[in-house]
């Protein structure tokens, strides 16, 4: 079985797939809310598997293969697929390949850029400039991976603009989620900076998604942050133009990490979207 978490619970099965650099434990406040109404579980992406290498991984398509294999191992019951960032893209691609495995989709600020931007990025990557032009790769490679204590990490992270909407408690949950304690009492990152950078480098190869999107008939909701730098307004408009059955909800004063910023609100939006599904399919 592919490495995964399983929180159990009653109700319709829900699969949650995390973002790049964000192990499932980072989402604990949201997952605890969703688990109240669902049997909640989720595959882990390859960077969290023991012994995996980045050799030969040129795009994110194999992650969707992993997800479909994982869901097949679980049995025939279709799931509500929830994914954040890359988790949303992996889930969406899997649903387009095998729609019978999904009952509904909720994509949390997915990494989906308009085709013109994607074409420009792929050109820069093809001529060897991907690492220079991607705004997150250099930062990921420079990321400190060991720490003496988590209080120091908290004080440092508290001042970073990216975490401006996280409460202190949610920031502490995030820090606990990205780290593990070593034998000497220090801490290290669970998700290696090298893997994180490689995921960034191999992303945005999504021409297939734009091509296939009109064929998606699964009830789908995309939740985006008004201040996101990832699922931009032009992408949201193009999505709804290509498939009018896809709903887009924009949260104000929210960024790309909205499931960490507003777990209660995100859970409520998800439940309101799938409520008819839950009432007719709950176990």
The pLDDT mean for the chain works out to: 94
Is residue 188 over pLDDT 80? yes
**Is 136 a domain residue?**
no
Nearest partner of 42 among 58, 24, 30, 60, judged by Cα:
24
- Domain of residue 30: give its range: 4-126+193-281
Report whether 92 contacts 243 (CB < 8 A). no
In a domain, 147, yes or no: no
Looking at residue 276, what is its pLDDT? Answer: 63
Domain for residue 143, yes or no? no
* 183-200: burial string, b at 16+ Cβ within 10 Å, e else: eeeebebbbbbebbbbbb
Give the pLDDT band (50/70/90) at residue 169.
very high
The enclosing H or E element of 107 equals strand 102-108
pLDDT digits (tens, 9 = 90+) for 237-246: 999 999 999 9
Q: What is the pLDDT of residue 281?
A: 36
CATH number at residue 52: 3.40.50.1820
Share of the chain above pLDDT 70, in %: 97
Tell which residue, 280, 282, 272, 242, has the closest CA to residue 106. Answer: 272
For residues 49 and 85, what is the distance between their CA atoms, to the nearest angstrom? 19
Domain count for the chain: 1
Give a yes or no: residue 80 inside a domain: yes
What average pLDDT does the segment 44-65 reach?
95
Q: Is residue 177 in a domain? A: no
Write down the pLDDT at residue 99: 97
Report the C-alpha gap between 129 and 94 in whole angstroms.
29
Strand partners, 8: 40
pLDDT digits (tens, 9 = 90+) for 69-102: 999 998 878 999 999 999 999 999 999 999 999 9
Identify the band that residue 109 occupies on the pLDDT scale cut at 50, 70 and 90: very high
Residue 223 lies in a domain: yes
DSSP conformation class of 127: T
**pTM for the whole structure:** 0.94
22 domain residue, yes or no:
yes
Domain for residue 183, yes or no? Answer: no
**Mean pLDDT calculated for residue range 17-29:** 98
pLDDT of 130: 83
pLDDT at position 192 over 80: yes
pLDDT band at 68 (very low <50, low <70, confident <90, very high): very high
- Checking if the pLDDT of 282 tops 50, the result is no
């Amino acid at each position: 079985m592919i490495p995964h978490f399983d929180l159990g619970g009653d109700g319709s099965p829900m699969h949650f797939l995390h973002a790049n650099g964000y192990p499932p434990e980072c989402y604990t406040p949201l997952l605890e809310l969703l688990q109240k109404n669902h049997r909640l579980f989720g595959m882990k992406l390859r960077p969290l598997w023991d012994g995996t290498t980045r050799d030969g991984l040129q795009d994110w398509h194999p992650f969707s293969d992993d997800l479909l294999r994982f869901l097949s191992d679980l049995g025939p019951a279709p799931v509500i697929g929830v994914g954040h960032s890359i988790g949303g893209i992996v889930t969406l691609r899997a649903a387009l390949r095998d729609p019978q495995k999904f009952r509904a989709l909720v994509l949390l600020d997915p990494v989906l850029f308009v085709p013109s931007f994607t074409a420009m990025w792929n050109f820069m990557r093809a001529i060897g400039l991907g690492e220079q032009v991607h705004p997150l790769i250099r930062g990921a490679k420079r990321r400190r991976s060991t720490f003496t204590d988590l209080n120091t990490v908290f004080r440092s992270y508290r001042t970073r603009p990216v975490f401006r909407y996280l409460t202190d408690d949610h920031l502490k949950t995030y820090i606990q989620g990205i780290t593990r304690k070593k034998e000497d009492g220090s801490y290290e990152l669970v998700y290696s900076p090298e893997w994180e950078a490689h995921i960034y480098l191999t992303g945005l190869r999504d021409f297939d998604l734009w091509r296939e999107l009109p064929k998606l008939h699964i009830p789908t909701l995309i939740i985006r942050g008004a201040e996101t730098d990832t699922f931009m307004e032009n992408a949201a408009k193009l999505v709804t133009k290509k498939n009018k059955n896809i709903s887009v909800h924009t949260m104000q004063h929210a960024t790309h990490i909205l499931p960490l910023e507003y777990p209660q609100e995100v859970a409520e939006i998800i439940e309101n979207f799938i409520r008819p599904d839950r009432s007719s399919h709950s176990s």
